[in-house]
Amino acid sequence: MGAAYFYHLTEAPLETTLPTLLTKARAAGWRIVVRGTDPGRLGWLDEKLWLQSDESFLPHGIAGGEYDADQPILLTLGAERPNAAACIMVIDGAEVSPEEVQEMERVCVLFDGNDVQALERARQQWKTLTGSGCSAQYWSQSGGGWSKKAESGSGS
């Protein structure tokens, strides 16, 4: 049974934070789906990931291609996981269901702490997931690192 980790971005933007989390998930041996809500934003994120230095290269693709099943990291707008992802990272308020949290190793919800709508959406997702019995943790950026601020569900 997986868990949802909520990442409240207050010190570094998505394009800085996401590659770090993707690198950690890849180090755990996981394939990842990054689910967004806007094709333009996924295209922008695709560019940012390709521009990483050689030391932090993150092989990835945008869903809808011939090699989706081979991608270690797949950027998508939908619920599909053709790459057999063990981890889902949702951005920009993308949907994630309690069933997905239960079947994944990890679900990460990244949200901009400077955006009132993003904060409200994350609160709503927290209530929905924990209300359905999912284990969840809330992490906030603090002094260049991460600090766990809350935990709900199994083992808390």
6-36: pLDDT as tens digits: 999 999 999 999 999 999 999 999 999 999 9
- Identify the pLDDT of residue 2: 87
Half-sphere exposure of 121 (CA within 13 A, CB side): 20
Query: Which pLDDT band, with edges at 50, 70 and 90, does 155 fall under?
Result: very low
Q: What is the mean pLDDT of the chain?
A: 92
48, amino acid identity: K
In the predicted model, is pLDDT for residue 42 greater than 80? yes
Instruction: Give residue 156's pLDDT.
Output: 43
Assess whether pLDDT exceeds 70 at residue 53.
no
- In whole angstroms, give the CA distance from residue 141 to residue 91: 16
Could you tell me the pLDDT band of residue 51, with boundaries at 50, 70 and 90? confident
Q: What local confidence, expressed as pLDDT, does residue 57 receive? A: 77
Domains defined along the chain, listed by start: 3-152 (3.40.50.10110)
Q: How far apart are CA 127 and CA 48, in angstroms?
A: 32
For residues 150-156, give the mean pLDDT.
72
Least confident of 37-46, 100-109, 146-155: 146-155
Q: How far apart are CA 127 and CA 39, in angstroms?
A: 27
Tokens at 135, concatenated? 């284990």
